Amino acid sequence: MSYEIIEKLISKNRSYKPLKPQGLCVHSTANVGAGAINHYNYWNNADRQSSAHYIIDDQMIIRLIPENEVAWHAGKTANSRFLSVELCEYDDSRFDIVWNKAIWFVADLCKRYGWDTEPVWSHRGVSGLWHETTHIDPIPYFTKHGKTWEGFLSEIENEINKKVVTPVPTTEITNKMIYDLLLKVSDSLKIK
């Protein structure tokens, strides 16, 4: 399954500084029930000193900041290295929709950049590594719904490794085609 990504760039809370992504930091919003549009409006209407590249809810995935631009999501070090995605929080079955979309999205991003799951970090992981924030998302959100960070990465890895089967061309090869090919080969080798 794949999902559409809508580009709806915010005009505020942007650094306009170049980014060469080395990985991804996954967040959750801690704003239960608010969807992607709510967060777009939050970041687009006032100076918040925070932002994210993407936000995922049960209805859509929105690109808020281009991937080649720094977003403000996890402290100076992570911001200068990582793309960011915020997962909208829900207390009902919409969690499963966001979970599945996030797995697809992160796997798709990893495929595009040639990454495995090694450069995929939680905000908790980044906070523990560089100590520039104290956030521990999305771990409590996952735990609340019986999921783990390790399970998230495992499902992303499975999605990355799915084989895409390219159909074999169905051109019929005739004896004349083989004969013509053999003639070309023998001519090039000067075999008579």
Domain boundaries, the chain: 5-166
Q: How far is CA 6 from the centre of its chain?
A: 13
Query: pLDDT value at position 89?
Result: 98
Query: pLDDT value at position 192?
Result: 44
Question: What is the CATH number assigned to the segment(s) 5-166?
Answer: 3.40.80.10
Query: pLDDT value at position 1?
Result: 73
Low-confidence ranges of the chain (pLDDT < 70): 163-192
Q: Please give the Cα distance from 80 to 94 (Å, whole number).
A: 32
Query: pLDDT value at position 182?
Result: 62
Query: pLDDT value at position 162?
Result: 87
Query: pLDDT value at position 178?
Result: 62
Query: pLDDT value at position 110?
Result: 96
